[in-house]
């Protein structure tokens, strides 16, 4: 939709370039200085310029073959302008100025088109004006399915609304949702959300349950899927039809995302009826369809550290995880200012945690004395700046996680239950073996405490926590000694 603003004594028009043609123009907006000084005259001049642009874009797209997106934008923009009353015309008769303005625009189009067949952009504008006229006259307006957004196009609007929620914290959830929409869009094609039925959702779920769980680890496949360069048939040929596919937890996540999307669309009249994506959730039960992370065995730790990783920064974060139970993101993003000492106890102040319970003090184990000596320097400096900050939350843990995955795979550890988080399992497991109260373990690792303790407990002293951490031991395991600086 063209917009105008006053520039000195004249007016300036701005038109949004269709996304399909942004690469051609090298910009997202086009601008034009108008000759008219009167606002109404300037508006009409701007609309004339916009119409000529639409026709040029149609020609650039191959004569009358205009992309669905461009046609839809013409329809939506023209209808929005008309219904907003921006085509006002004060006629001599008793007609409403808004109605008169829309009818005047329809008459102009009829005169210019004559008896020839309407072209795509022209038909879109005529339909938009006719629908706007019905709307302002309080008459029923039939839905024009040819102008509805495709499933994936509407999903982009849903994501914009989702990200506008100020309460959200930067996480990888955005990438997970986009992956869901990309997958279903491959299956569904260029059809709208409205047309999805229960049988379609069921067919999609059946395919997911036989899709290779490692398909997403192929950078080439992920890139093609996100860019829309791989068809559903190609994906199935390369990764589908496996005896066992994505885990129940992953399928549940995909379907929960689609359920929420349908509900959002239904509230905005993009679809109606029962949610086709509901009813596919499978209850998760550890040991049956959920394979949780497991601690590293003694011989596995020996392989991980003898010899240690070539990258000293990776070695160090592994050691910190073993003796603090901290999460990878918490460790990789540590700054010098988070290394503190109180009442003679050196500790790490975890501030950027997953939950409120995650904000805590973690005393340093005697085997991490080298880390306590790195507090010198600017407080905002990261301890391990060699890990790149990546992802929506700009977390260093994503890069560190990739490095650890490469390292463990090179050693032959392919079990998906053995990951960096397994060090946290080692830490918690040792404390449980030594009968440390659950409430104290929770305070150390950042878990929610039980109701009674969480509501009435005063917390565990730093000195007591230091004694608990000192219980951690890996007898017989030769560990590297990092440098102080």
Number of Cβ within 10 Å of residue 208's Cβ equals 19
- Quote the tokens at residue 412: 């032959």
pLDDT given for residue 169 in this prediction: 55
Burial (0-12, 13-18, 19+ Cβ within 10 Å), 203? exposed
- My answer on whether 30 and 69 are in the same domain is yes
pLDDT given for residue 451 in this prediction: 42
Number of Cβ within 10 Å of residue 194's Cβ equals 19
- Quote the tokens at residue 476: 């017989």
Q: What is the pLDDT of residues 161-198, one digit of tens each?
A: 998 875 555 555 788 899 999 999 999 988 899 999 99
Average pLDDT in the 241-270 region? 92
Residue 452 pLDDT > 50: no
Can you name the residues that pair with 340 across neighbouring β-strands? Answer: 347
- My answer on whether 68 and 163 are in the same domain is no
Decide if 36 is inside a domain: yes
pLDDT given for residue 450 in this prediction: 53
pLDDT given for residue 273 in this prediction: 93
**Minimum mean pLDDT range among 197-201, 225-229, 374-378:** 225-229
Q: How many helices (H) and strands (E) does the chain have?
A: 20, 6
Residue 64 pLDDT > 50: no
pLDDT given for residue 123 in this prediction: 83
pLDDT given for residue 338 in this prediction: 95
- My answer on whether 316 and 215 are in the same domain is no
- My answer on whether 340 and 454 are in the same domain is yes
Task: Look at residues 120, 147, 174 and tell me which one is the last residue of a structural domain.
Answer: 147
- My answer on whether 41 and 126 are in the same domain is yes
Residue 460 pLDDT > 60: yes
Which residue range(s) make up the domain with 255? 151-267
Task: Look at residues 147, 182, 215 and tell me which one is the last residue of a structural domain.
Answer: 147
Decide if 476 is inside a domain: no
Decide if 291 is inside a domain: no
pLDDT given for residue 305 in this prediction: 95
Highest mean pLDDT among 142-146, 261-265, 283-287, 460-464: 261-265
Higher-pLDDT residue of 164, 295: 295
Residues 208 and 246 sit within 8 Å (Cβ to Cβ): yes
Which of helix, strand or coil describes residue 7? strand
Decide if 372 is inside a domain: yes
Higher-pLDDT residue of 198, 36: 198
Rounded to whole angstroms, the Cα distance separating 315 from 309 reads 6
**Minimum mean pLDDT range among 147-161, 212-226, 316-330:** 212-226
| Band of pLDDT at residue 456, cut at 50, 70 and 90 | very low
| Band of pLDDT at residue 25, cut at 50, 70 and 90 | confident
Task: Look at residues 116, 147, 178 and tell me which one is the last residue of a structural domain.
Answer: 147
- My answer on whether 184 and 136 are in the same domain is no
pLDDT given for residue 455 in this prediction: 42
DSSP 337: G
Decide if 289 is inside a domain: no
Burial (0-12, 13-18, 19+ Cβ within 10 Å), 140? exposed
Burial (0-12, 13-18, 19+ Cβ within 10 Å), 414? exposed
- My answer on whether 134 and 172 are in the same domain is no
pLDDT given for residue 177 in this prediction: 92
Q: What is the pLDDT of residues 363-413, one digit of tens each?
A: 999 999 999 999 888 999 999 999 988 765 678 888 899 999 999 999 999
Q: What is the pLDDT of residues 333-364, one digit of tens each?
A: 999 999 999 999 999 999 876 666 668 999 99
Decide if 477 is inside a domain: no
Q: What is the pLDDT of residues 84-141, one digit of tens each?
A: 888 888 877 778 889 999 988 888 888 888 777 777 788 888 889 999 999 999 999 8
Convert 455-482 to b/e letters by CB count within 10 Å (16 or more is b).
eeeeebeeeebbebbeebebeeeebeeb
- My answer on whether 197 and 333 are in the same domain is no
Average pLDDT across the chain, whole number:
84
CATH of the domain at 366: 1.10.443.10
- My answer on whether 128 and 185 are in the same domain is no
Bond from prior residue into 307 cis (ω within 30 degrees of 0): yes
Based on the structure, what is the number of domains in the chain?
A: 3
- My answer on whether 139 and 166 are in the same domain is no
| Whole-model pTM over 0.75 | no
Residue 281 pLDDT > 70: yes
Q: For every residue of 164-191, which 3-state class applies, written as one string?
A: CCCCCCCCCHHHHHHHHHHHHHHHHCCC
Higher-pLDDT residue of 222, 5: 5
Decide if 363 is inside a domain: yes
Rounded to whole angstroms, the Cα distance separating 206 from 265 reads 24
- Written as one string, the DSSP assignment of 14-83 is EEEPPGGGHHHHTSSEEEEE-S--SHHHHHHHHHHHHHHHHHHHHHHTTTT---HHHHHHHHHHHHHHHH
- My answer on whether 118 and 207 are in the same domain is no
Decide if 93 is inside a domain: yes
- My answer on whether 251 and 370 are in the same domain is no
| Band of pLDDT at residue 257, cut at 50, 70 and 90 | very high
């Amino acid at each position: 939709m063209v917009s105008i603003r006053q520039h000195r004594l004249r007016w300036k028009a701005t038109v949004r370039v269709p996304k399909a043609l942004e690469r051609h123009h090298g910009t997202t907006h086009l601008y034009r200085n108008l000759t008219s000084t009167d606002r109404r005259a300037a508006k009409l001049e701007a609309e004339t310029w916009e119409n000529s642009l639409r026709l040029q874009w149609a020609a650039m797209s191959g004569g009358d073959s205009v992309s669905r997106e461009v046609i839809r934008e013409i329809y939506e923009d023209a209808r929005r302008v008309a219904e907003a009353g921006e085509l006002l015309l004060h006629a001599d008769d008793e007609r409403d100025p808004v109605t008169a303005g829309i009818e005047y625009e329809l008459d102009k189009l009829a005169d210019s088109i004559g008896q020839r067949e309407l072209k795509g952009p022209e038909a879109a504008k005529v339909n938009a004006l006719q629908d706007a006229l019905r709307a302002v006259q309080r008459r029923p307006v039939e839905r024009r399915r040819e102008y509805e957004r495709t499933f994936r196009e509407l999903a982009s609007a849903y994501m914009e609304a989702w990200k506008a929620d100020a309460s959200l914290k930067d996480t990888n959830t955005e990438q997970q949702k986009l992956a869901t929409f990309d997958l279903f869009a491959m299956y569904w094609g260029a059809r709208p959300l409205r047309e999805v039925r229960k049988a379609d959702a069921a067919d999609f779920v059946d395919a997911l349950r036989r899709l290779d769980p490692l398909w997403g680890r192929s950078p080439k496949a992920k890139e093609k899927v996100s860019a829309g360069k791989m068809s559903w048939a190609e994906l199935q040929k390369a990764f589908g039809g496996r005896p066992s596919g994505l885990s129940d937890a992953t399928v549940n996540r995909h379907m929960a995302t689609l359920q929420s999307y349908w509900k959002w669309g239904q509230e905005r009249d993009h679809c109606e009826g029962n949610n086709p994506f509901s009813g596919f959730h499978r209850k998760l039960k550890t040991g049956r369809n959920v394979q949780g992370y497991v601690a590293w065995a003694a011989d596995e730790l020996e392989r991980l550290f003898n010899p240690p990783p070539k990258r000293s920064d990776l070695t160090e974060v592994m050691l910190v995880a073993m003796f603090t139970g901290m999460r990878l993101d918490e460790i990789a993003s540590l700054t010098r200012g988070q290394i503190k000492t109180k009442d003679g106890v050196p500790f790490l102040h975890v501030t950027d945690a997953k939950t409120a319970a995650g904000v805590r003090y973690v005393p340093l184990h005697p085997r991490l004395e080298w880390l306590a000596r790195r507090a010198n320097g600017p407080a905002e400096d990261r301890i391990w700046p060699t890990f790149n900050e990546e992802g929506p939350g700009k977390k260093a843990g994503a890069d560190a996680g990739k490095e650890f995955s490469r390292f463990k795979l090179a050693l032959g550890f392919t079990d998906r239950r053995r990951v960096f988080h397994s060090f946290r399992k080692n830490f918690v497991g040792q404390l449980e073996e030594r009968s440390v109260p659950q409430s104290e373990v929770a305070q150390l690792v950042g878990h929610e405490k039980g109701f009674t303790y969480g509501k009435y407990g005063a917390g565990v002293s730093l000195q007591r926590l230091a004694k608990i951490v000192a219980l951690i031991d890996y007898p017989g395991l030769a560990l590297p000694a990092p440098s102080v600086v």
